[in-house]
Amino acid sequence: MGAPLVGLVVVSHSRPLARAAVALATEMVPDGTVRIAVAAGLDEDTLGTDAVAIGQAIAEVDSPAGVVVLMDLGSAVMSAELALELLDDAGVRERVLLSSAPLVEGLVVAAVAAAGGASRAEVAAEAQGALLAKSEHLGGPADGAGAGPAAGSEADADRRAGAGEPAVTASFAVGLPHGLHARPAARLVTAVRGLDAQIELRNSTTGAGPVPATSLSRVATLAALRGHEVEVTARGPQAHEAVDRLVALAARQFDEAPQAAAVSAAPPTHGPLAASPGIATGPVRHLRYRDDSSEVAPVGDPAEEKQRSEAAMTAARGEVERVKSVATGRVGAEQAGIFDAHLALLEDTDVRADVEARITSGASAVTAWQAALGAVEREWAALPDPYLRARAEDVRAVSAMMRQALTGEPAAALSGPGILFAAELTPAQAAELDRDAVRGFVLAYGSPTSHAAILARSRGIPALVAAGAEVLEIAEGTRVIIDGSTGELVVDPSPEVQQEFDARAKRLAVEQDVFRAAAQQPAVTADGVVVKVSANLGAAAEATEAAAGGADGVGLVRTEFLFLDRTEPPTVAEQVDHYRQITTAFAPRRVTLRTLDVGGDKPLDYLPMPPEDNPFLGSRGLRLTLERPELMLSQLRAVCLVARETPLNLMFPMVSVASELRAARQLLEQAAGAEGLPEGLRIGIMVEVPGAALKLPTFLADLDFVSIGTNDLAQYTLAAERGNAAVARLSDALDPGVLQLIDQVCRSAADRVSVSVCGEVAGDPAAVPVLLGLGVRDLSVSARAVPAVKARVRQLDLKRCRAAAQAALLLEDAAAVREHVRSVFG
């Protein structure tokens, strides 16, 4: 075990600020060798410093090597001094140095120096000189910033000692796209720390230097950009080893991730893929951030505006964390790292101080944020480095996000009616699309079973997904045609092509009119078997239209949409009112309510969750609500109240083991109270996990029905995330592997419980005969698909469906199944 290293303590008024500074510093010493303790804030949200907490932090990292304490604002210094006075052990007090270095820059260089085995005095001196690179670049020394370690320091003595020895020299070229910036510079310093040699660097291209290679703050002053030559000069017993280490490190590109690979890491696609049926024609429209700098009147006095600002920051931060988590799973941590810039902007102390000052002067929170971030955006846009200049777009995104959090207005909008082209749409964005303005949409990423696609089908908006990043380059206003049934995208169509699609659209409209005319009639196969065709709903507002469209009931109410996009959960009364609207529209037909299904890509702002490496395999659905019983009980009480008035189905999502179902039933009985469970309430589960499908008999004693959620079942069976464009073609519920699980469920259920399918495949014309052949007699589809699915059922007879289904189970993939269905049923 090596000698102890100097410990570091961060004292700040803000706990989030301190954590962010530590995260930045540990990026420079990722091996975790340096112990850093935080004493910041009075709690998670309250600003302030606490001498007792500082003393505890010092004790946590103390060792014979000593401790260096870095502080932010004035009272932090007084708290740190008081903490030293309160320490009982005089030996510990003598080992502590309070540093006047800038907190963020000082901590970064101090961590690197400590990791290299520097003494307490050297660490403090390195921290003290941390602003030197910035001050020299901007033309003048910072107050209190010297030319490096303090005169007389051990590092300075080392340099003098080696001055007369023969030099070893070499050069390397900087190949990093953004030059020798903080992270690679930190690796350089760490590589030579502790060697018995005096090492200096000089930028041969610009003439900057020489500077000591063991000082991060000095290395940064070289401003070594891509293509610059850096000369290494070393003297002392280990001079050769020092030079060799640095040349080898440069040859490895300072162990940085390959930038070219990261930039081009967009998921490969083979799209576009059909996502929502219908033909639409119009000009291309891209979502643009609102450019609205007009004054907005304050809602309240400055104190109220500051509270609104803080609440909006919390909401925006939660949304960024959610998007980053999803993006990490889809495109990797390197690409998703862009959202760290958004978080840093939201928590930037200078920006927040500017916002607070403007609010104090009488501005509204909206105006203050727009003005403060607008100033930052203009500064960044004027930078000479194109990489940094491009980051102005991040500022614009954060400004739009804060405006949305404060006003409730969409952060981005279309320039006019047409076909929306976007990278992706969140469920909330898809639900808010203006049907009059958005004739259809095309997404670069996503899949046909993403929530955006599901909402498009429920709202009758033609859509394509997984079209590839190149579609985002199609110019605004370019005329396009999309067919959401076939996956066709035609850019700048000729008059002949336009006529062909217009004729196709008319034929489709006539066909839909025929289907709607017969929608109220039951769906009966050619050989006399009745098949129930129900509707999937996301909101009460859809219920009346679905009932009028011929739905035989509601097979799935996605109750989570009542819980999303708000700052607190709905009350029991709100839920009862929402559920009653649906049951009233469908009375006496049954309605199936699915309990809250969030997690994964559907977070709740008021239900903070720690980041997960793979949220789709983490805490979501029933797993999550069992961990939050108060939320679950509120919903179950509302369900029981409605179920006492009308027959109702209750369905639990994402069930993996029977013990979860039993725990959910216990909560249901608790919610029902002394009256007991309502007589007309039937209990079911979603079968979405392959394990649950295979061991269904273990659940049957506690069930009245099961509903197969093929979207997630396909995702988990085929290891293809449903929202990932790169694997969208794999995540097809007609894959024989998924069909075998559906077959297993139908066989296990037999005559004991009813089986329905509420996944999107239930509305797929190619899937209907296969599902009927496997034994499914209840299909739950988007409300607009009900007439067409009923018409499809009437064309089929079960004998041919059974034969086709058995053959499908033996085929190799979903494409082969679809081709087989076409050959049998046309």
Give the CATH number, domain containing residue 174: 3.30.1340.10
Residues 124, 217: Cα–Cα separation, whole Å: 12
Model pLDDT, residue 46: 73
CATH number at residue 358: 1.10.274.10
Residues 6+ apart with CB under 8 A from 766: 734, 817, 818, 821, 822
For residues 53 and 43, what is the distance between their CA atoms, to the nearest angstrom?
Answer: 11
737/816 same-domain check: yes
* Residue 523 belongs to some domain of the structure: yes
pLDDT at 584 over 90: yes
Residue 623, CA distances (Å) to 265, 563, 626, 663 in order: 33, 17, 5, 10
How many Å separate Cα 290 from the centre of its chain? 22
Domain limit, last residue, from 380, 411, 442? 411
Give the CA radius of gyration of the chain.
32
Q: How would you list the strands of the sheet with 67-71, edge to edge?
A: 36-40, 7-12, 67-71, 96-99
| pLDDT of the residue at 263 | 34
Please tell me what DSSP assigns to residue 602: B
Contact 75, 40 (CB under 8 A): no
Task: Specify the pLDDT at position 106.
Answer: 85
pLDDT given at position 749 = 93
Please tell me whether residue 18 adopts helix, strand or coil conformation: helix
Residues 119 and 172 in one domain: no
pLDDT computed for residue 16 by the predictor = 84
Q: Coil, strand, or helix at residue 243?
A: helix
**493 in any annotated domain:** yes
Identify the pLDDT of residue 280: 95
Interval 86-102 mean pLDDT: 84
What's the rounded Cα separation, in Å, for the pair 388 and 381? 8
Report yes or no on 556 lying in a domain: yes
- Using the predicted structure, report yes or no on whether residue 567 has a pLDDT greater than 80: no
Residues paired with 137 in a beta bridge = none
CA of residue 804 relative to chain centroid, distance: 41
Question: What pLDDT, on a 0 to 100 scale, did the predictor assign at position 483?
Answer: 95
CB 476 within 8 A of CB 415: yes
Domain stop point among 466, 486, 512: 512
Position 750 scores a pLDDT of 85
Measured between alpha carbons, how far is residue 284 from residues 87, 204, 476, 480 in Å?
68, 51, 5, 7
Kindly report the CATH number assigned to the domain that includes residue 732. 3.20.20.60
Question: Percent of the chain at pLDDT above 70?
Answer: 82
Token pair of 379, please? 């500064």
pLDDT for 826 equals 80
Assigned domain for 265 exists = no
Of residues 416 and 700, more confidence is placed in 700
* Tens digit of each residue's pLDDT (9 = 90 or more) over 147-179: 333 333 444 444 444 555 678 899 988 887 767
- Which has more pLDDT, 34 or 655? 655
Can you give the pLDDT at residue 258? 58
Which pLDDT belongs to residue 289?
65
Q: Which helix (H) or strand (E) holds 8?
A: strand 7-12
Residues 301 and 371 in one domain: yes
For the segment 194-199, the average pLDDT, to the nearest whole number, is 85
Tokens of 198: 């005096």
Indicate if 680 and 728 belong to the same structural domain: yes
More confident position, 129 or 553: 553
Report the relative pairing of strands 67-71 and 96-99 from DSSP bridges. parallel
pLDDT at 676 over 80: yes
Number of domains in the chain: 5
Task: Find where tokens 């988990």 sit.
Answer: 716
- Same domain flag for 487 and 593: no
85 and 222 within one domain: no
Tokens of 101: 């270095």
What length does the chain have? 826
d(CA 785, CA 456): 12
Residue 91: give its domain's CATH number: 3.40.50.510
Whether 192 and 227 share a structural domain: yes
The answer to whether the beta carbons of residues 442 and 482 sit under 8 Å apart is yes
Verify that 204 and 327 share a domain, yes or no.
no
Hey, what amino acid is at 585?
A: A
How confident is the model at residue 160, as a pLDDT? 41
Q: Which residues pair with 288 in a beta bridge?
A: 413
How many Cβ atoms are within 10 Å of 582's Cβ, its own excluded?
27
| Co-location of 60 and 209 in the same domain | no
Q: How far apart are CA 788 and CA 764, in angstroms?
A: 10
Block residue for tokens 């009966």:
524
Look at residues 287, 345, 354 and name the one whose alpha carbon lies nearest to residue 316: 345
Q: For the residues 257-277, what does the mean pLDDT come to? A: 58
Q: Quick one: 120 exposed, middle or buried, by C-beta within 10 A (0-12, 13-18, 19+)?
A: middle
Task: Give the model's pLDDT for residue 470.
Answer: 86
Residue in the structure block whose two tokens are 């080392």? 158
- Highest mean pLDDT of the ranges 2-16, 177-191, 810-824: 810-824
- Please give the angle made by the CA atoms of 782, 439 and 447, to the nearest 5 degrees: 50
Q: For residues 505 and 511, give the distance between their C-alpha atoms in angstroms, rounded to a whole number.
A: 10
User: HEC states along 26-64?
Assistant: HHHCCCCCCCEEEEECCCCCCCCCCHHHHHHHHHHHCCC
| Domain interval for residue 49 | 1-130
Task: Find the helix or strand (DSSP H, E) in which 308 lies.
Answer: helix 302-331
3-state SS, 606-675, equals CCCCCCCCCHHHCCCCHHHHHHCHHHHHHHHHHHHHHHCCCCEEEEECCCCCHHHHHHHHHHHHHHHHHH
Shared-domain flag, residues 599 and 742? yes
Rounded mean pLDDT, 786-802: 95
Lowest mean pLDDT across 166-170, 421-425, 429-433, 729-733: 429-433
At residue 380 the predicted structure's pLDDT band, cuts being 50, 70 and 90, is: low
Residue 317 falls inside a structural domain: yes
Q: Is the per-residue pLDDT at 778 higher than 60?
A: yes
Closest to 586 (Cα-Cα) out of 548, 559, 558, 556: 548
- Dihedral sign for Cα atoms in the order 771, 777, 783, 784: positive
Helix (H, G, I), strand (E, B) or coil at 489: strand
pLDDT for residue 136 is more than 60? no
Cβ–Cβ < 8 Å for 808, 766:
no
Please check whether residues 456 and 307 belong to one and the same domain. no
Cα–Cα–Cα angle for 608, 613, 617, rounded to 5 degrees? 85
Residue 268 lies in a domain: no
In a domain, residue 526? The reply is yes
Domain end marker among 97, 130, 163: 130
Query: Which residues carry out catalysis?
Result: 451, 758
Give the C-alpha separation, 323 to 448, whole Å. 20
| Residue 54 and residue 72 in one domain | yes
Residue 266 DSSP one-character state: P
Q: For residue 267, tell me if it sits in a domain.
A: no
Sign of CA dihedral 807, 809, 815, 818: positive
How many Cα atoms within 13 Å fall on the side-chain side of residue 720? 23
> pTM of the predicted model, to two decimals?
0.56
Highest mean pLDDT among 73-77, 472-476, 559-563, 736-740: 736-740
